C-alpha cells in the first residue's frame, strides 16, 4: 500500500513495518504498537507479524505479479 503514515488504530497486537522505496529497496524497519502511528518516507509499506523474518534495511525486494493481468470485463 502507498503510505506516508501508518496507524495502529483497532489493532490488538503490534506489527513490524517494512518501508520500501519505489525502486524496491528497503528504507527502514519499525515496530507499530496498537493505537499509535508511524511516519514513513517510503513509497510502500509491508506489514508483517512479529514472528516473521524481516529483511535488513538496504536489501532489495523482488516481486512478481500474482495475476497475469486484469480479467476482461
| More reliable by pLDDT, 7 or 65 | 7
CA distances from 53 to 1, 4, 42, 49, 56 (A): 20, 24, 20, 9, 10
Q: Which pTM does this prediction carry?
A: 0.72
pLDDT band at 72 (very low <50, low <70, confident <90, very high): low
| Cβ–Cβ < 8 Å for 15, 50 | yes
pLDDT band at 50 (very low <50, low <70, confident <90, very high): confident
Q: How far apart are CA 9 and CA 24, in angstroms?
A: 27
> Average of pLDDT values for 1-9?
73
Q: Give per-residue pLDDT as tens, 6-46.
A: 888 888 899 999 888 888 899 888 899 999 988 887 888 88
Amino acid at each position: 500500500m502507498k503510505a506516508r503514515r501508518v496507524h495502529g488504530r483497532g489493532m490488538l497486537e503490534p506489527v513490524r513495518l517494512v518501508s520500501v522505496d519505489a525502486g524496491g529497496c528497503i528504507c527502514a524497519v519499525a515496530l507499530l504498537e496498537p493505537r499509535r502511528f508511524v511516519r514513513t518516507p517510503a513509497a510502500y509499506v509491508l506489514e508483517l507479524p512479529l514472528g516473521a523474518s524481516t529483511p535488513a534495511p538496504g536489501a532489495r525486494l523482488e516481486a512478481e505479479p500474482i495475476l497475469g493481468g486484469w480479467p476482461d470485463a
